[in-house]
Amino acid sequence: MRWARRLWHEILDALYPPRCAGCGLVGIEGWCEECAGQIEYVAPPVCNRCGTPLSPEEFCASCRANPLVMEAVRAAAHYRGVVQSAIHRCKYGKRPAVAPALADLLVTGWQSPLTEPLHSAEVVIPMPIHPQRERERGFNQSLLIAAHFCYHTGLSLIQGVLERVVYHRPQVGLDASERRQNVRDAFRVVQSQQVVGRTVLLIDDVWTTGSTLNEAAKALLSAGAARVFAYTVAHEPLSTM
Ligand SMILES: [Zn+2]
Ligand SMILES: [Zn+2]
């Protein structure tokens, strides 16, 4: 009978599409009041480079040991509670309708002094996923999030410039150096004239060590981008996985 239940849920979903991004409450666009109150936005202090919260130094130990090629990375919220459930619902529950609610966190975080270093960005590029993964999921959540973010901030989104050319195993469960190895040379820039001399803002859903974003940034910098920043919906500390 499980299939019948699932089918019934699918039918309900199709009939009543708006749901709270966090708890799935039907009839809510974005976040219900209760979930909105539970969102934990990132607050200072953070590492100047990677944005890791609770770093009392200018740069965290990881940035001192393995400097990122990106100028600065920031996340809007912590990867916990309702934010974590919403990202799961979007990616693994295959609900693209959750993406605008995730982008709203980026829009809110854009008002915070924490994201000021990123405001010099001229163009926005969503983190690409491998075409095979995009077929499995049906969409690229980062593209949907970036499009909504750009709509609200007036920044310009450029698409089809950065490609993910290697299909890697997921980063989950890997330590920092394994993560760097796993994503080596994963990206390729196909229309470099669009990034030459420009300051790029990469948009992604979650960042953990920044190794995937950093690899994408390397490809953009070798294609001639002036500087690369990254901004994600949530920050997930590596130690809590
Ligand atoms: Zn809710
Ligand atoms: Zn750092």
* Domains of the chain with bracketed CATH: 2-240 (3.40.50.2020)
- Amino acid, res. 59: F
Rounded distance from Cα 62 to ligand 2 centre (Å): 6
- What tens digit of pLDDT does each residue of 5-44 get? 667 666 656 665 789 999 999 889 999 999 999 999 999 9
Q: pLDDT averaged over the chain?
A: 90
CB 166 within 8 A of CB 104: no
Question: Collapsing DSSP states into helix, strand and coil, what is residue 119?
Answer: helix
Res 1: pLDDT: 56
Res 241: pLDDT: 38
CA distance 175 to 44: 26
Rounded distance from Cα 230 to ligand 2 centre (Å): 13
pLDDT band at 171 (very low <50, low <70, confident <90, very high): confident
Res 240: pLDDT: 39
Confidence (pTM): 0.88
Q: Which ligand is nearest to the CA of 74?
A: 2
pLDDT band at 167 (very low <50, low <70, confident <90, very high): confident
Helices (H), 110-160: 131-137, 141-153
Instruction: Give the helix/strand (H/E) hosting 169.
Output: none
CA distance 133 to 129: 6
Q: Which ligand is nearest to the CA of 26?
A: 1
Instruction: Give 53's DSSP letter.
Output: B
Specify the range with the lowest mean pLDDT, choosing from 79-83, 179-183, 194-198, 232-236: 179-183
Tokens of 190: 């196909």
Rounded distance from Cα 154 to ligand 2 centre (Å): 29
Q: Which residue has the higher pLDDT, 80 or 1?
A: 80
Res 54: pLDDT: 77
CA distance 134 to 105: 23
Q: What is the dihedral of CA 79, 80, 85, 90, to 10 degrees?
A: -10
Rounded distance from Cα 226 to ligand 2 centre (Å): 21
> Closest Cα partner for 99 from 237, 235, 236, 233?
233
- What tens digit of pLDDT does each residue of 35-89 get? 999 999 999 999 999 998 877 778 888 888 888 999 999 999 999 999 999 999 9
